[in-house]
Amino acid sequence: MHPILFTLGPIEVRFYGLMYVVAIVVGSYIIGREVKRKKLPLTPDNIMNFVVWCVIGGIVVARLYYVAFNWDFYSEYLMEIPAVWHGGLAIHGGVMGGFTAGWLYLNRTNVPFWKMADSVAPALILGQAFGRFGNFMNGDAHGVPTTLPWGIVFPIESIAGNEFPGLATHPTMLYEMIINISIFLLIWFVLRKKDHKPGFIFTSYLVLYSAGRFFVEHFRADSLVAGSLRAAQVASIILIVVAGFVIIRWRLWRRL
């Protein structure tokens, strides 16, 4: 695997960036289908503006979240802060940023927020799967060394290869990619086929993804930490509790 897809003169096209473009294009299509199916009052231009707001908000907060938990490094190398192509976007920060930006955009419209959130959920989890493939090609979001037969030795120039030269590591980015695709299939082919109360799909996404991420974190080598705890696991527990409470409190599983 190699992080650079091809070069065009001084321009490098990386798998990491390509996967974000693919995620945005495919995600926009999925959101458009769901908006049409739910008969939400949004034009194609409205949908694209909404996606742009969410993407920008998500990337900015995802990066700030990551930098905040690695401030010892970034305080010494300030020019590395905007270098997202070197890896370092925290998905929990991205969800918070995208959620907030989406809410701010929809707050100016008459579109029901939770119906729109349900429309975004399948696109979001599939986009995360694309992103993890980008991590795989980039050699980041990697795991600890393993003797299991599916362990992967990453190139020495990658983040994983530099930390564990010559050692096979857990391909945690692929673990999460498989989990994310599974969640997408569950949402797309099962959950969305029934007219649950607004918010059920999105909160279910939060619970399912958080459970999967909590599991994968056991094998990660580059986890963000908060004191002695893994930040992603703490965030996952909080999201499971909050989203689970919302589902139960308002009985969102019930059909309309």
Listed residue (178, 177, 151) closest to 164, CA to CA: 151
The 3-state secondary structure of 164-182, one letter per residue: CCCCCECCHHHHHHHHHHH
94 neighbors 63 (Cβ within 8 angstroms)? no
Determine how many CB atoms are found less than 10 A away from the CB of residue 207: 19
Q: What pLDDT score does 226 carry?
A: 77
Tokens of 81: 């802060």
Q: What is the pLDDT of residues 122-167, one digit of tens each?
A: 999 999 999 999 999 999 999 999 999 999 999 999 999 999 999 9
User: How does residue 215 score in pLDDT terms, banded at 50, 70 and 90?
Assistant: very high
Model pLDDT for residues 19-39, shown as the tens digit of each residue: 999 999 999 999 999 999 999
High-pLDDT (> 70) share of the chain, %:
99
Give Cα 125 distance to the centre of its chain.
Answer: 7
Report which of residues 15 and 32 the model is more confident about.
Answer: 32
Burial 45-55 (b: 16+ CB within 10 A, else e): ebbeebbebbb
CA distances from 139 to 42, 94, 175 (A): 39, 20, 14
Share of the chain above pLDDT 90, in %: 85
For the entire predicted model, the pTM comes to 0.94
pLDDT of residue 129: 98
Domain boundary assignment for the chain: 15-249
Residue 37's contacts (CB-CB under 8 Å, 6 or more residues apart) are none
- Distance (Å, whole) CA 57 – CA 147: 40
